[in-house]
Structure 1
Amino acid sequence: MSDAQVHRTVHDVIAAAPAGVLYGMIADATQWPLFFPPVVHVEQLDFDGTRERLRMWATTGDQVKSWVSRRRLDVERLRVEFTQELTAAPVTSMSGVWTVEPMGNRSRVTLEHAFTVDGDDPGAVRWMEEVTRANSRAQLDRLAAPWANLDETVMSFEDSVRIKGPAELIFDFLYRAADWPGHLPHVKELALAEEEPGVQVLSMGSISIDGSSQNTESVRICFPAAGRIVYKQTLTSPLLAAHTGEWAVDPDESGVTVTARHMVLLREDAVEEVLGEGADLATARRHIRDALGQAGLSVLRHATQYAAGAVRVL
Structure 2
Amino acid sequence: MAAERVHTTAHHVDVAAPAGVIYDLIADATRWPWYLPHSVHVEQLDFDGRSERLRMWATAGGQVRSWTSHRRLSPRGRRITFRRESPDAFAKSLLGTWIVEEVDARRSRLTLLYDVVVEDGGPAGAARAEETVDCGSRRELDSLSRIAERWSRLDELTLVFEESVRVRGGAELVYDFLYRVADWPERIPHVSRLDVTEVEPGVQVMSRDTTTADGSTHTTESVRVCFPHAGRIVHKQTVTPALLTAHTGEWSVVPDESGVTVTALHSVVLREENIEAVLGPGATVADARRHVRESLGRDSLATLELAKRHAGAVVRML
Question: Shorter-chain TM-score: what band?
Answer: over 0.9
1:121–1:74 CA distance, 2 compared to 1 (3 A): farther
Conserved? CA contact 1:5–1:120, under 8 Å: no
Alignment map for 1:63-212 (pairs within 5 Å): 63-104=63-104, 105-118=106-119, 120=121, 122-145=123-146, 146-147=149-150, 148-212=152-216
Aligned to 1:244: 248
Specify the code of the residue in structure 2 equivalent to 1:108: R
TM-score normalised according to structure 2 size? 0.95
Long gaps (5+) in structure 2: none
Cα distance per residue 1:23-53 (max 9 Å; x no partner):
0000000010001111100000111111000
Conserved? CA contact 1:15–1:143, under 8 Å: no
What is the deviation of 1:236?
0.3
Q: Please give the secondary structure, in 1, of the residue aligned with 2:296.
A: helix
What is the aligned residue count?
A: 314
Cα distance per residue 1:126-183 (max 9 Å; x no partner):
3333332332222211222231311100110001000011100100010100110000
What is the deviation of 1:111?
1.0
Matched, 1:15 2:15: yes
Aligned to 1:302: 306
Conserved? CA contact 2:3–2:119, under 8 Å: no
Specify the code of the residue in structure 1 equivalent to 2:59: T
Long gaps (5+) in structure 1: none
Q: Which runs of 4+ in 1 moved over 6 A?
A: none
Aligned to 1:36: 36
What is the deviation of 1:11?
1.6
Cα distance per residue 1:96-146 (max 9 Å; x no partner):
011111111211111111112345454443333333233222221122223
Q: Please give the secondary structure, in 1, of the residue aligned with 2:281.
A: coil
Specify the code of the residue in structure 2 equivalent to 1:23: Y
Matched, 1:255 2:259: yes
TM-score normalised according to structure 1 size? 0.96
Aligned to 2:238: 234
Give the whole-Å Cα distance in 1 for the aligned partners of 2:275 and 2:172: 40
Specify the code of the residue in structure 2 equivalent to 1:294: R
Matched, 1:291 2:295: yes
Superposition RMSD in Å: 1.6
